[in-house]
Amino acid sequence: MAGQMIQINTPQGHRFSAYLATPEQQQGPGIVLCQEIFGINAAMREKADFLAEEGYTVLVPDLYWRIAPNTELNYSAEDFQKAFELYQQFDEDLGVADIADSLAFLKTLDQCDRSTGLGVVGYCLGGKLSFLAACRLPEVACAVSYYGVGLEKALHELDGLKGRLVLHIAELDQFTPAEARAEIVAASQAHPLVQCYVYDGVDHAFARPKSEHYHKPSARFAHERSVTALHDSIGPYYDLAALWDEHIRHEFDTRDVPATMATMVAEPYVNHIPTLTGGVGSRQLSRFYSHHFVHQNPKDMKITSISRTVGSTQVVDEFIMSFTHDAEIDWLLPGVKPTGRYVQIPMLGVIQFRGAKLCHEHIYWDQASVLVQIGLLNPEGLPVAGVETAHKLLDESLPSNSLMPSWPSSADKAVG
């Protein structure tokens, strides 16, 4: 997915550039994405494309148009110096006015769903501007600020907040020392419309891929929180359970690989944690599904659902998978010849979505239980169980702690 550069004409007669990214369905709730101090560079365009994949129409205005139009800097020492010089010249109040004009322009586009509210997301300098826009512009239904610089000096502006505001703060951010962070957190806790998250052990720009301080777990967690807030405030709304059921139907019922892949984003991945099987990217995953999964599963394989938790961006599925081991199953028992034994496995799937498409699957199960059930592992003397793990998941009244030799010793001991 790739956007395009366009021109924005304002009611005041101004004209400046912007990057526009639209979702696959060609229309979605509108978001203004505010740049770092480096301008509309490749990193910001990638962020816009990523949000468009989530279902949004994203506009990235050139906030430097008054002082250095069409600036696009990288992250070398020289470019950082240029970026800092531009930042020192930048007028935040005019920046907020440009965001207001950008929001108004968004609403004129057919690609923007006018039935919803509008959002603002920003990083670094843009993080500060998204904070100010949320506080000053009543049309902002939801704003997200990543490591905004100088928020502690603008906390009084929260009195004007009408929509939802999410703040992502890096614990080790050199631009937000501990005292400033404490002020921001305290003010956020006192305001019902603000959610503030501090990410331990990470630095400024932790959510910028390929940066020195990029921290993938924190970036992913922050993105999930951001999209959840945006979904709740401006949409779009997806039936993730139905989307997941459709994916499963093509995997196990129709056994249609192209249809399975069609339920996923352009570059998805699947990770079966115990066996490290699956694939990363469309080409590898298609190969995996075609030759090592969809057409290789036993004919009597079935899924018994135990529980399902549906969030804004993911589904967590708990189930028992049952089958007769009458064929070699590469993804589950790679290299193991059929044993003819019947197997029941408790499984857990964490399924992440991006927009209306499945992004990735993390599938967990107890491989020791599988090996016991097919006779490859003798459980005697080991803290492992076989089919009992599935039986107890179905019937919690079955005995607990049977693998603990010390369990009888506590029968008559006081508790609490």
Kindly report the number of other CB atoms within 10 A of residue 239's CB atom. 11
Question: Which of 58, 225, 29, 238 lies closest to 141, judged by CA?
Answer: 29
**CA-to-CA distance for 103 and 101, rounded, in angstroms?**
5
CB 355 within 8 A of CB 375: no
Tell me the pairing of strands 357-365 and 264-272. Answer: parallel
Tell me the pairing of strands 140-146 and 118-123. Answer: parallel
The first and second tokens of residue 181, run together, are 């962070």
DSSP annotation of 336 reads P
Residue ranges in 107-177 assigned as alpha helix (H): 125-136
CB 161 within 8 A of CB 194: yes
The first and second tokens of residue 37, run together, are 């101090």
- What secondary structure does DSSP assign to 36-80, as a single string? -TTBS-HHHHHHHHHHHHTT-EEEEE-TTTTTSTT-B--SSHHHH
**CA-to-CA distance for 217 and 220, rounded, in angstroms?**
5
The first and second tokens of residue 387, run together, are 């089919």
* Active site positions, annotated: 124, 173, 204
The first and second tokens of residue 138, run together, are 């009543």
